[in-house]
């Protein structure tokens, strides 16, 4: 709860620091904030802001930099979210226009575009089997030894798996089993299909035990697909940030970016916050490697169903207004696009 002038000063300071990456002096703020007061006055206000823990001084005779709490105040109350230029929006929409591009490639390109437009690192997770609903299963005969299992989900995801064909099972028996399975599981979220759901099928078709087991293995979201459908863009951009010139800092971050599982949790966690777009700043992050980073995330969805997540990772000194605006736009476009591709 700052007074009007302190807010102006904090805003000017944060924005100047975001641009220059240099501690900001009272003179620069006086020039930029439009508060119409002299640097000396600004200095008094800055001392107060420092008292409140919103700004800090790297050392006595330097300017001020925003603290984590300072950024938080800025993000929550001061920044004006940037509207994207129409041309930019059009560019993104073009990206999605080609229906012949498979979903995986779409997600990958999104990560690329986001990282290029921000000069930060982009994370995009595509639709995941575990979040989708069961629609239908098919078994195709590939040759004498193998069957192809095809799993269709309500989102239009397709999962295939090659199985060794269990001997001595007539095709009709198999078909009946599949039919039973399909009617039993239709519409169920795959994440919740557990062993006991297949119990009755197993009892009904005892000769197809191994087949049912294979099916369970395919349906069940497993660690084997960790990293599947998660794309990064612009990891090298991290090196461009002046705050990451120290290699120790960046090594931790890059190592973290290789851990698909962790990234996934990161995206899902922050995106389940009550807000539309979540911003996690510096020390608010759970992983110590990320304490110099901020992460902006959002889920994209349509028709009440979450398809996936997008996120931008950059330094605390991130262009929040730009990034939030961009995420908001891409979240919309991507959700809409995946809805278009979804099966009716």
Partner DNA sequence: CCTGGCACTCGGCAACCGAGAGTGCCAGCC
Partner DNA sequence: GGCTGGCACTCTCGGTTGCCGAGTGCCAGG
* Cα R_g (the chain), whole angstroms: 26
**Residue 344 touching a second copy (CB under 8 A):** yes
Report the C-alpha gap between 104 and 133 in whole angstroms. 18
- How far apart (Å, rounded) are the C-alpha atoms in residues 45 and 38? 11
- Residue 225 binds to a second copy (criterion: CB under 8 A): yes
Which residues lie near DNA (CB under 7 A)? 5, 22-28, 36-41, 43-44, 46-47, 50, 57-64
| Cα separation, 305 vs 154, whole angstroms | 10
Residue window 228-247: x/- pattern of binding to a second copy, with contact defined by CB under 8 A = x----xxxx--xx----x-x
Looking at residues 322 to 341 of the shown chain, list those that interact with a second copy (rule: CB under 8 A).
Answer: 341
Rounded Cα gap, residues 74 and 77, in angstroms: 6
Nearer to a second copy (CB atom), residue 202 or residue 341: 341
Q: How far apart are CA 318 and CA 17, in angstroms?
A: 10
Side-chain half-sphere of 305: how many Cα atoms within 13 Å? Answer: 17
Exposed e or buried b per residue across 187-215, where buried means at least 16 C-beta atoms within 10 angstroms of its C-beta: eeebeebeeebbeebbeebeebeebbebb
Query: Of 136, 145, 137, which is closest to residue 163 (Cα–Cα)?
Result: 145
**CB-wise, 21 or 105, nearer to a second copy?**
105
Compare residues 58 and 102 and give the one whose CB is closer to DNA: 58
287 binds, among a second copy, DNA, none (CB under 5 to 8 A by kind): none
x/- mask, a second copy, residues 122-141, rule CB under 8 A, reads --------------x-x-x-
- Whichever of 46 and 328 has its CB closer to DNA, that residue is 46
The least CB distance from residue 22 to DNA, in Å, is 7
Binding residue (CB under 8 A) for a second copy from 5, 43, 161, 287: 161
Measured from the CB atom, is 317 or 322 closer to DNA? 317
Instruction: Judge contact between 149 and 214, C-beta under 8 A.
Output: yes
Angle at 245 between CA 241 and CA 246, to 5 degrees: 135
How many CB atoms are located within 10 Å of the residue 236 CB? 10
**Which residues make up the interface to a second copy (CB under 8 A)?**
100-102, 104-105, 108, 136, 138, 140, 142-146, 148, 150, 152, 156, 158, 160-162, 217, 224-228, 233-236, 239-240, 245, 247, 250-251, 254-255, 257-258, 341, 343-344
């Amino acid at each position: 709860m700052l007074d009007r002038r302190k807010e102006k000063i904090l805003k000017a300071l944060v924005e100047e620091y975001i641009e220059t990456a240099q501690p900001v002096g009272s003179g620069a703020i006086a020039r930029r904030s439009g508060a119409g007061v002299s640097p000396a006055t600004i200095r008094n206000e800055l001392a107060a802001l420092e008292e409140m823990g919103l700004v800090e001084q790297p050392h006595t005779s330097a300017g001020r930099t925003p603290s984590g709490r300072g950024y938080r105040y800025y993000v929550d109350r001061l920044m004006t979210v940037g509207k994207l230029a129409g041309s930019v929006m059009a560019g993104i929409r073009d990206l999605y226009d080609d229906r012949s591009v498979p979903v995986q490639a779409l997600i990958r390109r999104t990560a690329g575009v986001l990282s290029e437009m921000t000069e930060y690192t982009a994370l995009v997770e595509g639709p995941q089997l575990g979040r989708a609903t069961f629609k239908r299963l098919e078994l195709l005969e590939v040759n004498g030894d193998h069957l192809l299992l095809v799993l269709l989900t309500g989102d239009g995801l397709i999962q295939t798996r090659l199985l060794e064909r269990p001997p001595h099972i007539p095709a009709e028996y198999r078909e009946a089993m599949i039919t039973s399975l399909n009617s039993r599981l239709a519409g169920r979220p795959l994440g919740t299909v557990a062993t006991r759901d297949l119990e009755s099928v197993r009892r009904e078709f005892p000769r197809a035990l191994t087949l049912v087991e294979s099916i369970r293995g395919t349906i069940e979201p497993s660690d084997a697909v960790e990293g599947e459908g998660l794309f990064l863009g612009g990891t090298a951009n991290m090196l461009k940030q002046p705050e990451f010139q120290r290699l120790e800092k960046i090594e931790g971050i890059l190592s973290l970016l290789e851990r698909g599982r962790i990234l996934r949790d990161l995206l899902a966690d922050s995106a389940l916050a009550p807000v539309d777009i979540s911003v996690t700043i510096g020390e608010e992050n759970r992983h110590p490697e990320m304490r110099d980073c901020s992460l902006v995330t959002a889920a994209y969805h349509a028709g009440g169903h979450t398809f996936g997540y997008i996120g931008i990772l950059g330094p605390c000194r991130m262009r929040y207004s730009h990034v939030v605006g961009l995420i908001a736009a891409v979240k919309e476009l991507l959700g809409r696009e995946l809805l278009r591709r979804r099966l009716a």
